[in-house]
A and B are shown apart, each in its own frame.
Chain A
Amino acid sequence: MEVLKTYKLYIGGQFPRTESGRSYAVLSQSGQHIANACQGSKKDIRNAVQVARKAQASWAAKTAFNRSQIIYRIAEMLEARKGQFLEELQALGFDLKSATQEVETSIDRCVYYAGWADKYQALLGTVNPVASSHFNFSVPEAMGVVGVVACQQTAILGFISQVLPAIIGGNSVVVIANQKLPLCAITFAEVLATSDVPGGVVNILTGSVEEMLPTLSGHMDVNALSLAQLDSAILEKAQTEAVENLKRVMSYSIDFSQSTAQGLSYISDFQEIKTTWHPVEQIAGGAGGY
């Protein structure tokens, strides 16, 4: 008898079962039962946000170069586990060609965002002209905890394309994985757990988007939402609930396999701009300045 794997959640660097004890069957495109996944609950979201909040400050405080190294390490680990991802995608019904393309583009995207870690600040930050003797400058800062509903069309590429720009900018994330194709997301968690990403920076839940999203969008300790390809009714509800604590809601209806699905703008989507006025003094009677 074949024993089907039950994929668990990824919260705070651990792999717990859902607090609710529920699971659901993961089916291939032909309707074959290939694995089980945890059916996450409200309380799983609560636990995940709690650890994400705890992990965020120290993650953002790491040097940009260190964050770059860590994201690059993800690419290396993905490469090493390429076979496992291909196997899972084929079991789900992808052909080898499209599976290979999805995994390879995902790896490229990791390398791409690793490179941005110590560069986006220079491009998003500005020195502003002001009409007083102040040195006035603006710098990007991480927003905090970002709730992600991963792309429901791709198994891993959309997930990575949404999560990486958020974390490279110093945010921590709570992700609701693709409901029908959750396997690669949890396998990606195994990558994260072995690639120096501190526990709690990325938290991954599987289950019903409709059930879990309201908890995330109404959560007062979540600062922004990254949503992809949601039904307009679900999206509208999430936007309405997000108003309570002025969450920024980014909704993407893009094809994540395109090269336009990566870029600086996806990083700046989860950055706040902080502007500082610094008095410019005259030093020793000379023409002061900076």
Chain B
Amino acid sequence: MLPPRNNPDLISLLAKSPTIDQTGSIERVARIQARSLKGAAKLQGLRMALSMIDLTTLEGKDTPGKVRQLCFKAQHLHDQTSDLPKVAAVCVYPSMVGIAKKALGDSGIKVASVSTAFPSGQAPFSVKKDDTLFALENGADEIDMVISRGRFLAGDYQFVFDEIAAIKELCTSARLKVIFETGELDSLDQVRKISDLSIAAGADFIKTSTGKIQPAATFPVVLTMLGAIKDHYDRTGQMIGMKPAGGISSAKLALQHLLLVKEVLGEAWLTNEWYRFGASSLANDLLLQYQKQLTGKYQSAAYFSID
């Protein structure tokens, strides 16, 4: 077999990816995790996290009914509490995009579709292209594509770059999120490398995981990706969005992620234009904690809709 051929520009780009100090990363996030938001700041943080959620259902057993139910939940998080923000988007499989689009109507909530043979990405490009076009034709506002991890780990960076660039070309008006599945990438150095590569290939957002593999959005991984976004911004002035996904199921974790993004990237990223949480059960815990902040009483999941 011939060795993978990467063009010289790409090789010099990736050569510039810094190596990541894993111990330092762990210590830095530990400091942030030791912090705790209280009172009004916590209330504001919880609202912000709610508004950043991509409410997700990505199961083989998804039915049109389940997706409509999720879209209803997106628009009615907890009607007993007035003045709650809406989630940012609903994230579904391509076959469900049309149903979600119709159910969400003019609510302003976006429809994100996973794509390119999610979650494995193990399909020929023609299939990935059709997958993406199908989602776009059905009205997807955002495309969450997976990279070919096997090719990336084999060192075929050009292939991965070209694939992302080709999907980006299809997304004329939709925003493109690129999923790395960091749980399969082994080291923070690899995470940094794929972040730089994806951003160069045209990603609007970079996203940690599919949610199907553990570990998913761990803090050191997220810190590494935020570092890549920051370096790109410092160099070019162009903002790239960030979406941690998988395993963020508690309000406490979500607030710590917000602290991290504020510390690394600053206030400009603290909006659902540039920051998202991919999650299914996070919304309910945020609602529970929000209600707790309002009433002073610990809440029960029994009084909140399941989905």
Residues of A in contact with B (beta carbons under 8 Å apart): 45-46, 49, 215, 218-221, 244-245
Contacts and interface: CB of A to CB of B under 8 A. Distances in A.
Contacts of A215: 298
Interface residues of B, number: 8
Interface of B: 296-303
Top 6 A-B residue pairs of the complex, sorted by shortest distance between their CB atoms: A221-B300, A220-B300, A218-B297, A219-B298, A220-B299, A46-B298
A218 B298 contact: yes
A244 B298 CA distance: 12
A141 to B, nearest CB: 15
Contacts of A46: 298
B89 to A, nearest CB: 30
Main secondary structure of the interface of B (DSSP, over half): loop
Contacts of A220: 297-300, 302-303
Contacts of B300: 219-221, 245
Given A218-B298, A220-B303, A244-B297, 18 more contacts: A45-B298, A46-B298, A49-B298, A215-B298, A218-B297, A219-B297, A219-B298, A219-B300, A220-B297, A220-B298, A220-B299, A220-B300, A221-B298, A221-B300, A221-B301, A221-B302, A245-B300, A245-B303
Contacts, number: 24
Main secondary structure of the interface of A (DSSP, over half): helix
B54 to A, nearest CB: 26
B36 to A, nearest CB: 11
Contacts of B297: 218-220, 244
A174 to B, nearest CB: 12
A196 B303 CA distance: 32
Contacts of B299: 220-221
Nearest to A46: B298
Contacts of A219: 297-298, 300
A40 to B, nearest CB: 15
Which has the most chain A C-beta neighbours within 10 Å: B299, B300, B301, B302?
A: B300
B24 to A, nearest CB: 29
Which has the most chain B C-beta neighbours within 10 Å: A215, A220, A221?
A: A220
A219 B300 CA distance: 8
Contacts of B298: 45-46, 49, 215, 218-221
Nearest to B302: A221
Nearest to A215: B298
Nearest to A45: B298
Nearest to B291: A220
24 contacts: A45-B298, A46-B298, A49-B298, A215-B298, A218-B296, A218-B297, A218-B298, A219-B297, A219-B298, A219-B300, A220-B297, A220-B298, A220-B299, A220-B300, A220-B302, A220-B303, A221-B298, A221-B299, A221-B300, A221-B301, A221-B302, A244-B297, A245-B300, A245-B303
